[in-house]
Amino acid sequence: MREITVAVAQMKPKLGEAEENLVKMSETISRIASQQRVDLIVFPELITSGYELGLRFTEVAQRVPGPTVNLLAQRANEYGIFIAFGMVTKEKVESVLYNSAVLVGPEGELLEVYNKIHLRGEERMAFREGYKLPVIPTEIGNIGLLIGYDLAFPEAARSLVLDGADLLCVVANWEAAHIDEWKTYVRARAYENAVFVAAANRIGEDVTLSFGGESMVVGPRGQIHASLAGETDPESGEPMEGFAVARIDLDEVRKNREEFQFIQNRQPAVYKALVRKY
């Protein structure tokens, strides 16, 4: 058995206030890790900054490694855990920004930075598209990273799985108005690839958008191992901050793929249209 414990953290970041958001992340890490032994914590997309910043993204963007990554790497080392989270990163050329997902490890090491490939709406004006889908081999399993809108493209998750991922970490800012899409996509990506998905979605409002939460950990048969669905404020009815924790066995990935043959029964020679530009 390859059992690990995974937590998804559901947070409401304060728009443009990176220091406050990092303090809240640090407190959340301490709260989760002090209550039980965990191997991995997944935070939402752009959790250090918020989503609707426009030109102000240049003010909060950081190089990697940098202060934010170093701080969270210290927290990872302190508790002996992996942490995945979303932030704005920049290249040496100051104007080149990315919507990124970062994975740090229990030795305080930076393991990977993934730059979001599928940009949506106004993201295209702020960020440059990424161009690769890395799979990170770790002591707890092979981890793939996806960000928000990436989840709507089956090719992205399938590519990570074909490259060996048995756990997909999804960091997201999915809107409340489209939360049914979110719930469907998370389970579909798990089902069709016989893979575990740890999906963290933010809550709260920025300027014009409201975000829907429903963070969850889903197994290779689409079963929900842990979820923050239904965790709402009794007065406002809005989703609440919190976290969900699941103990999962990554050996179920191989077991389900052997039983249901979702990967083995593919016919790649027939799918040539998939790589044709629309």
pLDDT in tens, 189-247: 999 999 999 999 999 999 999 999 999 999 999 999 999 987 787 877 788 999 999 99
- Mean pLDDT score across all residues of the chain: 95
3-275 is a CATH 3.30.230.10 domain: no
Dihedral class, residue 242 (left if φ above 0, else alpha if ψ from -120 to 50, else beta): left
Domain residue extents for the chain: 3-275
Q: What is the pLDDT of residue 254?
A: 96
Q: Please, what is the angle between helix 154-162 and helix 179-193, to 10°?
A: 30
Please give the angle made by the CA atoms of 249, 255 and 261, to the nearest 5 degrees: 140
Report whether pLDDT(19) > 80: yes
**What global pTM score does this model have?**
0.97
Round to whole Å and give the CA distance between 248 and 251: 9
Q: What is the pLDDT of residue 275?
A: 85
DSSP 204: E
Which tens digits make up the pLDDT trace of 149-196?
999 999 999 999 999 999 999 999 999 999 999 999 999 999 999 999
Number of residues written out for the chain: 278
Cis, bond preceding 65 (omega within 30 deg of 0): yes
Report whether pLDDT(83) > 90: yes
Average pLDDT over residues 261-265: 93
